[in-house]
Amino acid sequence: MLAAQPIKGVLPSFEQFTFIEIAEGVAGPFCGLHLADLGSRVIKIEPPEGDRAREWGPPMIGDTAAVFCGLNRGKQSVCADLRDPASHAELDRLLARADGVIYHADPVDRAEHALNWEALATRHPQLVIVDLNDMGDSGPFQHHAGSELVVQAMSGFTRYVGQPGGNPCRVGYEVAGVGAGIHAHQAMLAGLWHRHQRGEGQLIRVSILKALMSLKTILLAAQVEPDAWQGFHLHGPRWPPDIGWKTADGQVTYDFRGGDREGWVRFIESIGLGHLATDPDYADWRSTIYIGDRRHTAGKVYEPWFASVTAEEASARINGFGGISMKFNDYAEVLEHEQLQLLEVVAKRDESDSQNPPQMNRAQKFSTATARPLGPVPRLGEHSDAVRDEFSGRQP
């Protein structure tokens, strides 16, 4: 076997990179999280009151919320009030020795920071700057304050969640923030590669609204004629969200692959519904089990059988005929499941280390490369003095 040859122009180790993160909430910190997990140094600039995510939801370490802990492990925290122009000289010293910047701020904070990224990119040509904005950097909504709910509403997500006649409902997950964080991370890596090839940094704009739309392009198809749309997870205003098929002790999924009508026929025969195979109303059989609004009308015929068995029995019967069924798990069941334990979804830790509680692990599994072990969550301003001493008055 021939030995693998190194690729010319390969990026240096991520442990050689330093990034400045000026971002609160989810999107920017999600990008910085993955850079830190790869071994890079991420210096998080926090306002004196701290990243607002420190107070989002139940605490995990002291008074620090689990949301913040999950997004900011392995970073260094430096307190600086960028609303004060006097802090810009200190920031400039950090930028002079950094490889990249992740920036995201609400419109009001952005105006008070008064940071000119075009000028800073010229002053520090080595920088790859990823500037996240909510609605876009131009247009009538460029200064509109964003949030997870606002971006979801603008994108049309709320059109398909909730009850007819009721209030719009957000998707119960930071789909916009995480999606934009993924795009920002990809942008940073692309910018670093470009710098390695061309010797120049650049300024990259990432719109959270655009990132969400790019992840959910099926919405565009649905919104062409939304009330006639038959999408399996976009039920329109007429039907409730999919909550699974109710069994005697929980819910399960119920599906057969599109071309596997034979498996579906054998299954319905086994539960006493074999006559459906010749019923014209079930010619489009799959729309009655998984895809489409007909699941809420024509699908009712399956419900008595599901209610008569346990979730485990229902899934075993469906899967036994080549179908695809899985019990809906709650969080306790998920974390205890053998498959999730094999995947090491929860990172291993030293039980005596109170600064590094259980956290979700990296999604990647490398064959040879290794990344820095997951670091502790920084206390607010924990590294301010050390970083200031290190960067004070030194040249790049």
Among the listed residues 328, 329, 377, 331, the one whose alpha carbon sits nearest the alpha carbon of residue 356: 377
- Residue 43, Cα to own-chain centre: how many angstroms? 21
Q: Is the pLDDT of residue 344 over 70?
A: yes
Q: What is the pLDDT of residue 57?
A: 83
Confidence of residue 150 (pLDDT cuts 50, 70, 90): confident
Among the listed residues 11, 53, 30, the one whose alpha carbon sits nearest the alpha carbon of residue 184: 30
Among the listed residues 298, 311, 238, the one whose alpha carbon sits nearest the alpha carbon of residue 268: 298
Average pLDDT across the chain, whole number: 84
Among the listed residues 249, 250, 221, the one whose alpha carbon sits nearest the alpha carbon of residue 234: 221
**Which domains, from first to last, does the chain contain?**
14-217+345-391 (3.40.50.10540), 245-320 (no CATH)
Q: Is the pLDDT of residue 306 over 50?
A: yes
Residue with structure tokens 């080595």?
126
Q: What is the pLDDT of residue 44?
A: 97
Cα distances from 42 to residues 72, 161, 375, in angstroms, run 9, 37, 11
Mean pLDDT, range 386-392, rounded to an integer: 88
CA angle in degrees (0–180, nearest 5) for 128-135-145: 110
Q: What is the pLDDT of residue 396?
A: 47
Q: What's the pTM value of the predicted model, to 2 decimals?
A: 0.81
Q: Is the pLDDT of residue 234 over 90?
A: no
SS3 85: helix
Q: What is the pLDDT of residue 339?
A: 86
Q: 235-279 pLDDT, tens per residue?
A: 444 555 566 899 999 999 999 987 889 999 999 999 999 999 999
Q: 190-212 pLDDT, tens per residue?
A: 999 999 988 899 999 999 989 98
Q: What is the pLDDT of residue 64?
A: 87
Among the listed residues 368, 379, 361, 377, the one whose alpha carbon sits nearest the alpha carbon of residue 34: 361
Percent of the chain with pLDDT over 90: 49
Q: What is the pLDDT of residue 155?
A: 76
Q: 313-337 pLDDT, tens per residue?
A: 999 999 999 999 998 888 788 878 8
Q: Is the pLDDT of residue 61 over 60?
A: yes
Return the higher-pLDDT residue of 359 and 382.
382
Mean pLDDT, range 147-176, rounded to an integer: 72
Q: Is the pLDDT of residue 43 over 70?
A: yes
Q: What is the pLDDT of residue 256?
A: 93
Q: Is the pLDDT of residue 224 over 90?
A: no
Q: How far apart are the first and last CA of the chain?
A: 44
